[in-house]
Each structure stands twice: as structure tokens, then as C-alpha cells.
Amino acid sequence: MDHQEVELLAIGAGPSNLALAIAIEEMAPADFASKTLIIEQHENIVWQRGMMLPWTQSQVSFLKDLVTMRNPCSRFSFVNFLHSTGTLHDFINMASFLPFRLEISNYLQWVAQSLSRVQVQYGRRCETIEAIRSSDDVITGWLVRLTDGSAIAARNLVIGVGRDAHIPEAFRDLPRERVIHSTEYSSRIAHLDPDAPHRIAVVGAAQSAAEMLWETHQRMPAAECSMIMRSIGLDYYQTSKFTNEKYFPSFTDSFYAARPEARQRVLQEMRRTNYAGVTPELLNTIYRQMYLERLTGTQRLRMVTAVDVNHARMDGDEVVLGLADRIGELNDELRCDVVMLGTGFERSLPALVRQIAGLVGVEQFLVSRSYRMIMPPAVTANCYLQGINEESHGIADSLISVLAIRAGEIVHDLLASRPTEQPLASAAAVAV
């Protein structure tokens, strides 16, 4: 395993690349599928690993799985997963379109185990990407070096690692043990004493922040939990039937063809439907708990609204958050033991994508309608981006809604651009 050569290497075994693996097995020639490899840095597949809470549900219909919207007859459907695991009758009896997050996670692992040609390798983390060049200096492929010292050469690269966690500047100087981002909540919360009288500050006003607040409140009966937000209060997701149509795969065509300024307007409006709200069930649960606590005089839940956190510092063993009132323009402080951040993800591109851009000599690049980076003429290798194309393909690009259709579009593009000659003649020389 010191050096491998494949036709397609997909980095990250999340929903995007697993949907692509299904599409390759169902649409591509057998020799192409057998030369496709997915690498995953972890030892297993867990959906939303940092927020894998037993009671959380997906906000997307089970019919928008990895394949059904493209091929309803596929053996890789969520319904077939339920049938194969003996849980179909139980799921039907739940009378819900929304599976538990745990079910989706189990479905993803089942898909990976059910692939017959595409390989998935675990515990393999990408460290750097290099260009493979021909004798006339044309980039014909990519060499991915892994942290275990091995290397993988591929003509086609698919990056499906998602964006990096966003840590606001105000919190970056705090000791790491005092700050928990939602992407690491499940593992980090296990190290806190559940019976201690912690003072927890949760920053954010969307679903991940609300889930951390509620899970912490329930897990730690002696903790005081404060939710800090810039908005004037928690709000529901805006999920009318009309706005939901903007998550249809067919809307991607309209969005991609729009002028850049029109795209920005649509994105700004659509962010309220996904990034700035809480599910009605969870919002009502939190409000009811706060009401009961006020009624009984045992208040442990608190909302701090319409404030900016302008600084965070340590004072002895306490974290001190500086709060600036956005309405009354007054300053205040909140003292706590741990800060939990439901602050989302960086808008900048992941480091691996920036590496690719640097290798081909561009600072700003475009992505084709088929999710392929548009390369300079001296590059014949392909690189596809999954889940980070909101600016060009719309807000649904980072969500499950379009995975099945997007995977099919990428495979069509891959096969259309597949060369007849043998690729990567110089790959072995580059790897040594």
C-alpha cells in the first residue's frame, strides 16, 4: 500500500462521495469502478460525527437518500437498507419522513459495506497533494500523500471533505479545553463530569447550538446553561413548500445560469431557511423547559439575546465573555466554565482545494455546471468539488437534497472526458 494508482480518488467517505460511489457502480464501466477508491481518515463512517446525538433527526425526507432521486430502483436506497436490516416495518410505523440521525449514519456505513467494485479504505488521512507532470509540463494527474507515508496517484480527484469549523476570532486565544465547537461536541462532552455544577455558555442561534444547549442541559442536571446570540431570539426554520422548491435539483440550473449579483441575493434570502433557524419541535421543547423552570424557581436555562461577544479571556479558572448589547449599546460580562460554539463553518475553501488552486497557478477559479474545477489549458487532470459550491450552485449544494442527482452529473462528466490512452505514465517516478 506504499504506492497505488487509481483512475479516481475521492477524499472523504461522507454522503457526497458515497453517493458518487453508488453512481459509479451503477453507471460506469466495471473497469472504471474497480479503479475508484474512497479514502476516509476515520476508522468508520459516522454522519455528523460531532453531533451524533441519539434523539436528533434529519430535516430531509428519507426519499432524498444517496440514490433514490436518480434511480428509484437502486439496491442502495434507504428503503432497501431498512428492509435489509429488518427495520422497515418499525420505520413505517413511526409515520415520519424524517429518519433519526443515527439511522442515516447507519445507512451510510451499510452503503459503504455494500459496494461491490468501488473500494473504501479507512484510517487514511490526506496530508498534501502534488501535481503529476508529463515531459512537456502538462499536469496529467494528482499525487496524494497520506500521513502514513504512502501515496496514491489518480487522474481524477474528488474532494468531499466539507468546510473547516469556524472559530470566531474572539475565542481563538482561549485554552482549547475551554472551547467546544459543534463538530467535536459528541467526543468532547464525554470528558466533562455530568454531575458537576458547570456553567456552560452556548454561542449561536441555529440548530446545532440549540441541540448542544438541550443535550447539555439534559446530560448535566446541575449545570447552568446560557445561550448567547446576536439575534433577538430563536426562530423557526422557514420551510414553506415554496421555499423548499429552491432545494430541488432542478433549481441548480437556474441558479448556475444567474448573474453573480442575483445569486448573492438568492443566497442571502435562502440562508434563513437553513442556517438561521431551529426545528419547531426543539424550539418548543426549549421554551417549555424555560417556562417550567421559571414557574418552579429552578431556572438553569437562560437566553442572552441581541449581543455580540467582542472578547473572551481567562480570569483565574473562569472564562469571561465580553458582551456588547446590540440594542441598548451597553457592555456586560458573562462568566462561565466552558464555551460551546454553534458558529458553523468557514466560508473560505478547504485547505486541500487551495492546494489544488496553487498547483495549477490560479487564485480564483470557476466550477463547471458538472462540479469540475475549470483548469488552465496545461492541465488535463480533473478535480471535482462536492459540498462547497454554494456560490455557484446554490444553497442546497452542502445538503443531502441534491446528492443523488449531483453524483450522476459528475459521473456523466467523468465518462465524457475519459481518455482512451493509459494515464499517469510518470506517476511512479513522482512518488519515489
Model pLDDT, residue 1: 54
pLDDT higher at 323 or 239: 323
Q: Compute how many other C-beta atoms are within 10 angstroms of the C-beta atom of residue 44.
A: 13
- pLDDT digit string, tens, across residues 385-414: 999 999 999 988 988 989 999 999 999 999
CA-CA-CA-CA torsion for 158, 56, 172, 336, nearest 10 degrees? -170
Nearest Cα residue to 157 out of 353, 400, 398, 363: 353
Q: Does residue 8 contact residue 154 with C-beta atoms inside 8 Å?
A: yes
Same fold, 3-164+348-431 and 169-237+277-341: yes
Q: How far apart are CA 186 and CA 102, in angstroms?
A: 13
Q: How far apart are CA 195 and CA 317, in angstroms?
A: 19
Q: How far apart are CA 211 and CA 283, in angstroms?
A: 10
Confidence of residue 273 (pLDDT cuts 50, 70, 90): confident
Model pLDDT, residue 421: 59
Q: Are strands 224-228 and 199-203 parallel, antiparallel or unpaired?
A: parallel
Model pLDDT, residue 374: 95
* Nine-digit cell string for 202: 452556548
pLDDT at residue 432 tops 70: no
Q: Are strands 119-122 and 151-159 parallel, antiparallel or unpaired?
A: unpaired
pLDDT at residue 178 tops 80: yes
Model pLDDT, residue 429: 44
- pLDDT digit string, tens, across residues 147-161: 999 999 999 999 999
Model pLDDT, residue 428: 45
Q: Are strands 338-341 and 199-203 parallel, antiparallel or unpaired?
A: parallel
Nearest Cα residue to 231 out of 257, 210, 261: 210
Nearest Cα residue to 413 out of 379, 374, 357: 374
Confidence of residue 422 (pLDDT cuts 50, 70, 90): low
3-state secondary structure the chain: CCEEEEEEEEECCCHHHHHHHHHHHHHCCHHHHHCEEEEECCCCCCCCHHHCCCCCECCCCCCCCCCCCCCCCCCCCHHHHHHHCCCHHHHHHHCCCCCEHHHHHHHHHHHHHHCCCCEEEECCCEEEEEEEECCCCCEEEEEEEECCCCEEEEEEEEECCCCCECCCHHHCCCCHHHEEEHHHHHHHHCCCCCCCCCEEEEECCCHHHHHHHHHHHHHCCCCEEEEECCCCCCCECCCCHHHHHHHCHHHHHHHHHCCHHHHHHHHHHHHHHHCCCECHHHHHHHHHHHHHHHHHCCCCEEEECCEEEEEEEEECCEEEEEEEECCCCCEEEEEECEEEECCCECCCCCHHHHHHHHHHCCCCCCECCCCEECCCCCECCEEEECCCCHHHHCHHHHCHHHHHHHHHHHHHHHHHCCCCCCCCCCHHHHHC
Kindly report the CATH class assigned to 169-237+277-341.
Answer: alpha beta
Q: Are strands 3-11 and 151-159 parallel, antiparallel or unpaired?
A: parallel
Confidence of residue 16 (pLDDT cuts 50, 70, 90): very high
| Average pLDDT rounded to a whole number, residues 270-293 | 89
Kindly report the CATH class assigned to 3-164+348-431.
Answer: alpha beta
Nearest Cα residue to 384 out of 109, 155, 132, 90: 155
Burial (Cβ within 10 Å: 0-12, 13-18, ≥19) of residue 77: buried
| Average pLDDT rounded to a whole number, residues 345-368 | 90
Nearest Cα residue to 238 out of 204, 284, 286, 206: 206
Q: Report percent pLDDT > 70 for the chain.
A: 97
Nearest Cα residue to 388 out of 357, 359, 342: 357
Model pLDDT, residue 420: 67
Ranges of each domain in the chain? 3-164+348-431, 169-237+277-341
- pLDDT digit string, tens, across residues 66-112: 999 999 999 999 999 999 999 999 999 999 999 999 999 999 999 99
Q: Does residue 399 contact residue 116 with C-beta atoms inside 8 Å?
A: no
Model pLDDT, residue 329: 75
**For the chain, first and last CA: distance in Å?**
13
Model pLDDT, residue 18: 98
* Nine-digit cell string for 89: 416495518
What's the mean per-residue pLDDT of the chain? 92
- pLDDT digit string, tens, across residues 227-240: 999 999 998 877 77
